[in-house]
Chain A
Amino acid sequence: MLVGAAALALLGGTVATACGSTPPVKDVDALVGALERARDDSRLAGNAAAAAAPTIATALSVVADQRAAHARALTDEITRIAGEAPTTSASTSASSTSATPTTSGPPPKPPTVADVVAALKQSADGASLLATQQSGYRAGLLGSIAAACTAAATVALATSGVTS
């Protein structure tokens, strides 16, 4: 699990460039990617909650809320470093051109808890990697997001009577 010290010298030089006051465009792009994942997960968990049994629906709603909180924090950070609010495919709930339409009712085939768990694990992996490539507050924020996704996938959605 723990990595050896060998990579230290390799990575030490490259990551230092990410500390400037004007971060490269790729930093913003990376954060926008994390933002879109947070929104997607929130929507997925919300849709799954709407169709789930009450016992697990509560846990799914918590996941939806937490991923929405991640989206807000990422939006704030992107706005701060880019000087403007992020333009993504689904800016806010009012967007009519979102990639995945947010309808009022659950979709015909609602997502399952397993779908949400799988999405969260992917999001955790992505945020973990991104956290090691960023620095300062951004690294910390992404690390907390990764930790939250893993805890949600392996504890919150597992202790609610789901075995997978």
Chain B
Amino acid sequence: MTSPDTGSSTAPSPSRPSDAADAALFDAVAVEHGVIYGYGLVSAHSTPDSNQLVSNSLAGHRELREEGIHRLAERKVTPPIPALGYQLPFVVDDPTGAAKLAVRMEEDAAVAWRAVLEQATAGDDRELAVTALTRAAVSAARWRAVLGVEPTTVAFPGGND
């Protein structure tokens, strides 16, 4: 999806925590930063028919990012900051490209939140992760429908079980 544009592909500053559960949440927040950036482009290139889907998805990702940041801060973990820019996996200059980017970002969000789910040691982190994973799966399916991709759903969002 949208990968940070600055420097190498190593962890963004601040440094990634060593605890596995914190690290997964840190990664998820970093992914959400990129998704929120990417939805700006999706919004710019989508048709008006997708306005509601764009705004609902974006609002959901903002909420998840803020919640993730909040939880990291509670554990004295410095959350990741947004990159200065993000590299897109392909050129986005029309509604089809926008929808493809949205699918890709939702798939990446699903992977990140499933990792949170698997690494979490607290039940309410798992609740957050299941909520996020489900939202990502639903949004990805809606964007596939926009693209006319069949089927719109996958058996294992965020994984390849």
Q: Are A140 and B114 in contact (CB under 8 A)?
A: yes
CA distance A146 to B113 in the complex (A): 13
Point out the residues of chain A lying under 8 angstroms from B159, CB to CB. Answer: 140-141, 144
Q: Are B70 and A5 in contact (CB under 8 A)?
A: yes
Does A136 make an interface contact (CB < 8 A)? yes
Given contacts A2-B67, A147-B110, A155-B145, contact A139 B122 (CB under 8 A): no
CA distance A132 to B155 in the complex (A): 20
A10, A16, A59, A131: residue with the most chain B Cβ atoms closer than 10 Å:
A131
Q: Are B129 and A151 in contact (CB under 8 A)?
A: no
Partner of B130, one of A66, A131, A135: A131
Point out the residues of chain B lying under 8 angstroms from A135, CB to CB. Answer: 118, 120-121
Point out the residues of chain B lying under 8 angstroms from A16, CB to CB. Answer: 121
CA distance A73 to B145 in the complex (A): 26
Interface flags for A11-34 (1: CB within 8 Å of B; 0: not) read: 110111000000000000000000
Does A81 make an interface contact (CB < 8 A)? no
CA distance A135 to B161 in the complex (A): 16
Point out the residues of chain B lying under 8 angstroms from A132, CB to CB. Answer: 123-124, 126-127, 130
Interface size on A, residues (CB 8 A): 45
Q: Are B126 and A66 in contact (CB under 8 A)?
A: no
Interface size on B, residues (CB 8 A): 44
Point out the residues of chain A lying under 8 angstroms from B121, CB to CB. Answer: 12, 15-16, 135
CA distance A7 to B115 in the complex (A): 21
Does B152 make an interface contact (CB < 8 A)? yes
Query: Which residue of chain A has the shortest Cβ distance to B158 in the bound complex?
Result: A144
Partner of B152, one of A1, A70, A155: A155
Point out the residues of chain A lying under 8 angstroms from B133, CB to CB. Answer: 143-144, 146-147
Does B5 make an interface contact (CB < 8 A)? no
Q: Are A156 and B137 in contact (CB under 8 A)?
A: no
CA distance A133 to B154 in the complex (A): 24
Does A96 make an interface contact (CB < 8 A)? no
Q: A4 CB to closest chain B CB, in angstroms?
A: 8
Query: Which residue of chain A has the shortest Cβ distance to B143 in the bound complex?
Result: A155
Q: Are A70 and B155 in contact (CB under 8 A)?
A: yes
Point out the residues of chain A lying under 8 angstroms from B74, CB to CB. Answer: 5
Q: Are B134 and A147 in contact (CB under 8 A)?
A: yes
Point out the residues of chain A lying under 8 angstroms from B61, CB to CB. Answer: none
What are some 15 contacts across the A-B interface (CB < 8 A)?
A2-B63, A3-B124, A5-B71, A7-B123, A73-B161, A124-B134, A128-B130, A132-B127, A137-B118, A140-B114, A143-B126, A143-B158, A144-B159, A147-B136, A151-B141
